[in-house]
Structure 1
Amino acid sequence: MKKYAFGVDIGGTTVKIGLFETSGKLAQKWEIPTRKETNGTKILPDIADSLAAKIDELGISKDDVAGIGIDVPGPILDDEIVNRCVNLGWGVFNVAERVRTLTGISEVKVANDANAAALGEMWQGGGENHQNVVMVTLGTGVGGGIISDGKIIAGAFGAAGEIGHLLVNKEETQLCGCGKKGHLEQYASATGIARRAKEVLTSSNEPSALRDIKDPDAKAVFDCAKDGDKLALEIVDFVGETLGTALASVSCVFDPEVYVIGGGVSKAGQILIDTVQKHFVAAAFHASEGAEFALAKLGNDAGMYGAVKMVL
């Protein structure tokens, strides 16, 4: 039995790499810069060089490497082909085949970063002991990943799990980052929560600790809500209702056992989980009401864990 595998998480600033034992234990992790110049042509050779250096440093035989799992911030087809990745400057090409050529390791699989994070959380994180999981990542935007019977659902065009672009408000006039309007991302992301706070503070004369904070962000909103601030609680409830209702619709399509909530906003903790779950139950079809809600546990390592799980 082979002893090792690599998990590679390609981000816009750095590439996180993990050396895993095939038991699933993370043995070592390190980072290299993501060199995006010349349309990202240096990224995969840099990864291959870093893996080769680690293999040499530890005296590992390539015959002992079960494979390389990679996640990228873009849609992926057939566990191999990136279907454009604007953040890295990539068009459409076979990432897995290129890495096989560069490393001489034949088992290489590729996933979207949110999908990989979802798989990682299912495996050793907030969704552990479940096989049907939806991960929701609340950061600058809203991402998602769907795991069915322990496997990533990528969809025909690599866009499955993009719950941040569910239409939740037809009356919205401002554009989502994708160029359309009224998407979940505009309300449940850190950016959207800060925007909502600004709108509420402008439209209301209600006293609030948020007024003492210049440009209150999502963390400030949740911190004030935990202290009982009325306006902050209203904003949190709005976010919870918007997200919980959207996830009730997701359950009508996929019906997961558990929703794992991650990303920077998830640091708000139980108040976020409780509010989202309350509105989910109110909106959900009765057969789906029992879905669990949990906080993500793997943090920024989730993508590495999910990537390597694909080859184990």
Structure 2
Amino acid sequence: MLTNDPRRRPAHEPVLLDRVLALFAPALAERPAVLVDATVGLGGHADALLSAHPELTLVGLDRDPKALAASTARLARHGDRVHLVHAVYDRMPEVLAELGRPAVDGVLFDLGVSSMQLDLPDRGFAYAQDAPLDMRMDQTAGKTAADVLNTYPAEDLARILRDYGEERFAARIAKAVVHERAREPFATSARLVRLLYDTVPAASRRTGGHPAKRTFQALRIEVNGELEVLRQALPAALDALRVGGRIVVESYQSLEDRLVKQAFAEQARSRTPPGLPVELPGHGPRLRLLTRGAEQAGEQEIEHNPRAASVRLRAAERIEAA
């Protein structure tokens, strides 16, 4: 049975844990290092990193108060080496300044929806069960998915479905939503799923996966401003890294991974004007890429932890001060 009590919740399986530990080890081992877990969630990665590095101090951010309650309980045994903050990760520079730690040795992003958010029916993230159309990662603030469905003009609905869900039938779905909400506002996920089954052509349903997957992703991204927050947070995280510090990002859909790839590539290239025979001082690459493209989970991990199936991991090391 699912529960809001973090002490009774099923065990959380952090994705690609061994690879994350290996990537961070050179930056954290055998010294008093500082790492930011920008999406601490249920604390799986954080707990393992703190256990592996006895001198590590961890700053954990999360916008979800329920996740923070769970990670607080899980990480309590590490005492004052842990600082947990209720904040969206684009506030990282502000949080680090308040803690007096403007430079860090590691930053971890485990993006997307947490296991807890998917497992708790009242959050509305999962289309497989009927639930209120909420989808807020922080249920104390902001608009819900129902607000988006019931108030956005058809053109804006089509835009977010197309841009954030990569939905081929965005305009058709938006038109159907506007027609249906005039009869009765949307409140729960089951009615939206039925509309999507009726609107998405049967041929696409047979080959394109569940017809609700793309729409639910788009609504979640819009409700939480996920891409804009990530777009602002990545450069700030890279700037916070000391020389030799490392960043690891796990993303679960192509839009996030594209932003990560672009942010890393921008700082991994030389800024010396083309044609010059030598690298100008202060114009070399600021990052060294640690992964060739995006790494994926192996079959064994996916079988054990299905959430790992869509993960794309990228990592880089700071080699020159920003």
Please give the range of the TM-score, normalised by the shorter of the 2 chains: 0.3 to 0.5
Q: What's the TM-score once normalised by structure 2's chain length?
A: 0.32
Q: Identify, as 1 or 2, the structure richer in strand.
A: 1
The higher relative CO (CA closer than 8 Å, separation ≥ 6) is in: 1
